[in-house]
Structure 1
């Protein structure tokens, strides 16, 4: 797989802090050029072809190959040394399916009105910000795909982004907003994006006729305001976003921006509704639930949960539909029942990508998720392989922190010290390795083969489904916001098992068969709604909730937290 090897080589350059790059290049050049050698006998030309491909891969990961000490390019043989920037070339190369073009004929009345209004502004180059608002199942992604296909069919540039990697992977040519716009991690009220006016990103944005940003309700308002300032700067215009047509999408009934140890007031203040841009945004509301055709009652129940209007008992508890509840008992039996309902006939379907990608168990915290994944990997057929991490503390010359202690840590966003895997088991990626080629934070994978220092995996779901990729060990550090008194570093494969995942991680996904495990109540805005709305009907949704004895001992009720002021904003 020469192309996969070239991608692995690029990933190692960017993420693995390798030192002897030139010797690594010389050792593996023959293996990385096997496919090119069939049509190119000249060794010098062959080397240039491999270099150009690796350069493009490194560039898609946000880096420049010139800083890695590889052989020089032949300027006469370099097709990217002139003309459009690589960012523009990549965007122009995004294809659109004929069925996406034909989507416009099957839009419902609400979607068609939004489509016509947005397209009119694009064609007439009239500045406007739109917000497509609607609960899950109302066809927001369907509308985006129709818009993207139409604009691209006119040979104009339409940029598709989303806050989460999962949501981005669903849209053709989708990228995470942070990677596409070079948005800094640390934000202030005067931040700008990390690109210059002369960069390829700036050129791409100047040429763009339409910018779509999905799941924007999850991101802090300062992130959107940062893009606004940068676009005004590169366009030389004081109009919002430099006069561009920008389409935001999202649902404020879902996960709100993460504010570490933030109060309700701080979380609310971080939402887009508190931005200076909110009053300038034209709202397009979608209300017709496409899933309601299969289960009207459940769709209406979900909407009441999300709106906080479902009848409560004992304060903020709500009743759960009897037919989706697994009765709680203080034994392992209910958890085993939940697993059996979500993963029936596991052994017979263990090699099936569609089976694995269509089901998951959701819970509130990583501890609960880890326990479920440990149960599942023990049940999963096959021989296990355990990969152990290399843990260290920066600037700890005296070895103050014992290795056993470091190994016991699993900070949020990092893989475990002992990563236990089996062939064909499902996993989820924890880092943006190569967003342009589908390797985003949140991408779901199936493990297909093991190497000592690389894992061979297949992408399941999204536009890159079926692609085989190598995942190497990379150095990882947790967010600087966490409370560890030292800078922790873990070298490990950036994946976790994904039989179970956190509710927040599942944001933006549709999971046809979903289980919900609540050994403790939800703790943030609309977490219950997000969990329940990942599924498609009552028949394929199961919930196991530890009861509040004061409310009722059966486990047929659970807490529902909704910030009504956010929804009314």
Structure 2
């Protein structure tokens, strides 16, 4: 049996809170985080590199020494395992720890985790000059003051401006000019993976948005994790991944990287070859007894959303069972009159909104595309299995992370398209914020480790970092299959 924080008395500097006192919602949520016995004993299984980081971070926590760490490690070096050991140790000593991540997928793997945007009220529009919207007198500000440690995983995916907004907010809340208000923070990530996404940005724009370009970076205490625990059984595959991630893998005269022959699926034609990839990634798709094991840790990764929809359509048609189809309700919010506007709106899917048609079946895998209730595991990126349908509710079960097997209800909600130079027609769309996830974009798969990975490349990857993310979701070469159109080179960016 695990323990909850409510089993302890909280003592934090000048604050003493009895377990019988009336608490704020935020603090009560933190108190209700389950501390598993497995996580409590995790410190005993840390390797030498992880133990060094663990001891160094705890030294500052136990002595209240302000410090900012950055855990730099490629996928598989056990960053998540280290975080869980820290969370369990500090929480079992009756302290508050705030566990966050840039992506919802990574947040769902952290006990008590939520996205950084949700926790720190960071504006969704990352170009918004406004600071994090947390009042100094709010209960959330009080929770942040109580926190002995803040963890932010996958910080390499976040724009430097977001990290700098957190610094400004913490200095304000803590009434301190020390970096991050004197809080002890652990950032983590892998710079071999994809950088922050800059819409229509140049290479220089992308580089400038990285956390390493922030004036705060030089004040971080960097700790490297190099021992890859995930690929110990396939060291040659690990070496290959590292060369791709570091941008030093051999290329031909066309700047193309060779995929190992055992992972490559020969291309015949679009339909035949895609069906071959589907059969390899999802064998025996019509066997009802394999639903959970088949779709929880397997996926086909590709570069663009339209390719994702193409693959998902193929798989949902092959998936057994009766289908349920939901159509969105679209509404024009402008004063202009557009001929055949209803049909036009059905065809439009601006950034942040969902497609008009959503077809699902019982036990089909879906992914949540919006934060609904982060404290209950419903974050942007949470994986679920469909269990039932009604007109405005999807009954589902969380399939991965600390909330795995938990039943949840997904509501149909109304979202409004942004009115800007990318979307000149403002309108609302009422639809479920989910989509099928037999396939997903490579960027969406970042932070995940899968049992079997298919990679479908109809066009070149955008960079060697994106190719590294796609291939490194697999634990070994025999768990990876890649389908490439003959005219699709694997471009190695310089």
TM-score by length of 1: 0.81
1:156 matched to 2:95: yes
1:185 matched to 2:119: no
In structure 2, C-alpha distance between the alignment counterparts of 1:526 and 1:532, rounded to whole Å: 10
Task: Call closer, same or farther: CA 1:308–1:192 in 2, change over 3 Å.
Answer: same
In structure 1, C-alpha distance between the alignment counterparts of 2:125 and 2:149, rounded to whole Å: 27
Q: CA deviation at 1:328?
A: 1.4
Residue matched to 2:399: 460
Residue matched to 1:392: 331
1:291 matched to 2:223: no
Residue matched to 1:131: 70
- Greater Cα shift, 168-177 or 321-330: 321-330
Q: Does structure 2 retain, via aligned residues, the 8 Å contact 1:171–1:463?
A: yes
In structure 1, C-alpha distance between the alignment counterparts of 2:162 and 2:249, rounded to whole Å: 33
How many residues are matched? 477
Residue matched to 1:497: 436
SS of equivalent to 1:294: coil
Q: Does structure 2 retain, via aligned residues, the 8 Å contact 1:160–1:173?
A: yes
Q: 2:210 aligns with which of 271, 280, 291?
A: 271
Q: CA deviation at 1:371?
A: 0.6
1:267-297 deviation digits (Å, cap 9, x = unpaired):
1111100111100000000000002221110
Task: Call closer, same or farther: CA 1:310–1:482 in 2, change over 3 Å.
Answer: farther
Q: CA deviation at 1:203?
A: 0.3
Residue matched to 1:20: none
Q: Does structure 1 retain, via aligned residues, the 8 Å contact 2:417–2:423?
A: no
Residue matched to 2:27: 88
Q: 4+ residue stretches of structure 1 with deviation over 6 A?
A: 79-82
Q: CA deviation at 1:173?
A: 0.4
In structure 1, C-alpha distance between the alignment counterparts of 2:252 and 2:177, rounded to whole Å: 51
In structure 1, C-alpha distance between the alignment counterparts of 2:78 and 2:479, rounded to whole Å: 20
SS of equivalent to 1:317: coil
Residue matched to 2:358: 419
Q: Does structure 1 retain, via aligned residues, the 8 Å contact 2:244–2:464?
A: no
In structure 2, C-alpha distance between the alignment counterparts of 1:316 and 1:349, rounded to whole Å: 44
1:299-344 deviation digits (Å, cap 9, x = unpaired):
1101110110101112431111010000112341111110000000
Residue matched to 2:457: 518
In structure 2, C-alpha distance between the alignment counterparts of 1:399 and 1:357, rounded to whole Å: 44
Residue matched to 2:6: none
In structure 1, C-alpha distance between the alignment counterparts of 2:443 and 2:279, rounded to whole Å: 23
Q: Does structure 2 retain, via aligned residues, the 8 Å contact 1:350–1:356?
A: no
Q: Does structure 1 retain, via aligned residues, the 8 Å contact 2:418–2:426?
A: no
- Greater Cα shift, 470-479 or 211-220: 470-479
Residue matched to 1:280: 219
Q: Does structure 2 retain, via aligned residues, the 8 Å contact 1:162–1:213?
A: yes
Q: CA deviation at 1:397?
A: 5.1
1:114 matched to 2:53: yes
In structure 2, C-alpha distance between the alignment counterparts of 1:137 and 1:332, rounded to whole Å: 34
1:561 matched to 2:493: yes
> Which structure 1 residue ranges, 5 or more long, are not aligned?
1-78, 549-554, 563-569
1:164-183 deviation digits (Å, cap 9, x = unpaired):
00000001000100101111
- Greater Cα shift, 480-489 or 266-275: 480-489
- Answer 1 or 2: which has greater strand percent: 2
SS of equivalent to 2:362: coil
Residue matched to 2:294: 355
In structure 2, C-alpha distance between the alignment counterparts of 1:160 and 1:529, rounded to whole Å: 26
Task: Call closer, same or farther: CA 1:476–1:189 in 2, change over 3 Å.
Answer: closer
Q: 1:530 aligns with which of 453, 456, 469?
A: 469
In structure 1, C-alpha distance between the alignment counterparts of 2:470 and 2:421, rounded to whole Å: 25
1:450 matched to 2:389: yes
Q: How does 1:236-275 map to 2 (within 5 A)?
A: 236-275=175-214
In structure 2, C-alpha distance between the alignment counterparts of 1:542 and 1:99, rounded to whole Å: 33
Q: Does structure 1 retain, via aligned residues, the 8 Å contact 2:75–2:472?
A: yes
Q: Does structure 2 retain, via aligned residues, the 8 Å contact 1:136–1:533?
A: yes
SS of equivalent to 2:353: coil
Residue matched to 1:233: 172
TM-score by length of 2: 0.93
> Which structure 2 residue ranges, 5 or more long, are not aligned?
1-17
Residue matched to 2:15: none
In structure 2, C-alpha distance between the alignment counterparts of 1:363 and 1:345, rounded to whole Å: 22
Q: CA deviation at 1:349?
A: 4.2
In structure 2, C-alpha distance between the alignment counterparts of 1:522 and 1:355, rounded to whole Å: 27
Q: 1:436 aligns with which of 359, 372, 375?
A: 375
Task: Call closer, same or farther: CA 1:400–1:270 in 2, change over 3 Å.
Answer: farther
The alignment yields a C-alpha RMSD, in angstroms, of: 2.0
In structure 2, C-alpha distance between the alignment counterparts of 1:457 and 1:264, rounded to whole Å: 40
In structure 1, C-alpha distance between the alignment counterparts of 2:240 and 2:336, rounded to whole Å: 58
